[in-house]
Structure 1
Amino acid sequence: MDGQPEIIKTALTYAEQGWVLAQSWLLSPAAWSQFGLLILAYVLAVIVTKRLRPKISQLLTPDSAQQNMLASGRRWLLIFVPLILPLLAYVFTAVGESVVRSLFDSGVVIAFGKRVFLFLAARTFVNEALRDPFLKLLGRYVLIPVMAIYAVGLLDVVSAKLSATVISLGNISFSLMSVVRGLIAGSLLFWFGRWSNDQSNAFIEKQKEMPAATRTLAAKTAELMIFGVAFLLLMNIMGISLTSLAVIGGAIGVGLGFGLQKIASNFISGVILLLEGQATVGDFVELDGGEAGKIVKMTARAAILETFDGRWIVVPNEDFITTRVVNYSDAGSANRYEAPFSVSYDTDINLVPAIVEAAVAKHPKVLALPYPPDCELRGFGDSGVDFAVEFWVNGLDDGENKFTSDVLFLIWNALKDNNITIPYPHRVVELHDKRAS
Structure 2
Amino acid sequence: MNPEDADIPPLEQLQEIAFGLLARAEVFASGLMRPWNAYQIGIALCVFLLAWGLAVVLRPRLHDWMRAREGWPKWRLRVLLILHRRLRMVLFVVLIWIAVWIMREVTWPSRSYLLSVIANLATAWLFIAFSTRLIGNPLLRSVVRYGAWTWVTLHILHLTGEAQNLLENMAVNIGDTRLTMWLAVQAVITVAVLIIVARFLAVTSSARIRSNEDISPSMQVLAVKFLQVALYGAALFIGLKLVGVDLTGLAVLSGAIGVGLGFGLQKVVSNLVSGIIILLDKSIKPGDVISLGETFGWINSLGARYVSITTRDGKEYLIPNEDLITGQVVNWSHSNDFVRLDIYFGTAYGDDPHKVRKIAIAAAADTPRVLRDKPPVCHIVGFGDSSVDYILRFWIRDPTGGLTNIRGNVYLALWDAFQENGISIPFPQREVKVLEGSRLETAKALD
**Structure 1 length-normalised TM:** 0.75
Q: What's 2:276 paired with?
A: 271
Seen in structure 2, the aligned counterparts of structure 1 residues 72 and 19 have a Cα distance that, compared at 3 Å, is closer
Q: Which whole-Å CA distance do the structure 1 matches of 2:440 and 2:248 have between them?
A: 106
2:144–2:192: 8 Å Cα contact kept in structure 1? Answer: no
2:379–2:392: 8 Å Cα contact kept in structure 1? Answer: yes
Unaligned stretches of 5+ in structure 2?
Answer: 1-10, 443-447
2:297–2:400: 8 Å Cα contact kept in structure 1? Answer: no
Q: Give the letter aligned to residue 378 of structure 1.
A: V
Does residue 179 (structure 1) correspond to residue 181 (structure 2)? The answer is: no
**Equivalent of residue 326 in structure 1, options 320, 325, 330:** 330
Q: What's 2:362 paired with?
A: 358
Seen in structure 2, the aligned counterparts of structure 1 residues 314 and 435 have a Cα distance that, compared at 3 Å, is closer
Q: What's 1:425 paired with?
A: 428
Does residue 163 (structure 1) correspond to residue 146 (structure 2)? The answer is: no
Q: Give the letter aligned to residue 118 of structure 1.
A: N
Cα offset for 1:381? 1.1
Q: What's 2:412 paired with?
A: 409
CA RMSD of aligned residues (A): 4.6
Q: What's 1:376 paired with?
A: 379
Q: Give the letter aligned to residue 310 of structure 2.
A: E
Q: Which whole-Å CA distance do the structure 1 matches of 2:238 and 2:103 have between them?
A: 40
**Equivalent of residue 245 in structure 1, options 244, 250, 254:** 250
Seen in structure 2, the aligned counterparts of structure 1 residues 110 and 240 have a Cα distance that, compared at 3 Å, is farther
Q: Give the letter aligned to residue 419 of structure 1.
A: G
Does residue 219 (structure 1) correspond to residue 232 (structure 2)? The answer is: no
Seen in structure 2, the aligned counterparts of structure 1 residues 250 and 93 have a Cα distance that, compared at 3 Å, is farther
Q: What's 1:317 paired with?
A: 321
Q: 337-346 or 129-138, which moves further after superposition?
A: 129-138
The alignment of Structure 1 onto Structure 2 pairs a total of residues equal to 416
Q: Which whole-Å CA distance do the structure 1 matches of 2:355 and 2:32 have between them?
A: 111
Offset from partner CA, 1:185-233 (integer Å, 9 cap, x none) = 4445555555554454444434445321122122212221221222123
1:41–1:93: 8 Å Cα contact kept in structure 2? Answer: no
Q: Which whole-Å CA distance do the structure 1 matches of 2:279 and 2:45 have between them?
A: 60
Q: Give the letter aligned to residue 296 of structure 1.
A: N
Q: What's 1:230 paired with?
A: 235
**Equivalent of residue 349 in structure 2, options 345, 351, 367:** 345
Seen in structure 2, the aligned counterparts of structure 1 residues 19 and 230 have a Cα distance that, compared at 3 Å, is closer
Seen in structure 2, the aligned counterparts of structure 1 residues 144 and 341 have a Cα distance that, compared at 3 Å, is same
% identical equivalent positions? 27
Q: Which whole-Å CA distance do the structure 2 matches of 1:69 and 1:380 have between them?
A: 66
Aligned residue for 1:319, secondary structure, equals helix
Offset from partner CA, 1:1-57 (integer Å, 9 cap, x none) = xxxx99999877755555456667878xxxx8899899999999999xx9xxx9xx9
Cα offset for 1:375? 0.5
Q: Which whole-Å CA distance do the structure 2 matches of 1:267 and 1:294 have between them?
A: 21
Q: Give the letter aligned to residue 389 of structure 1.
A: L
1:334–1:393: 8 Å Cα contact kept in structure 2? Answer: yes
Q: Which whole-Å CA distance do the structure 2 matches of 1:272 and 1:405 have between them?
A: 38
**Equivalent of residue 86 in structure 1, options 93, 97, 111:** 93
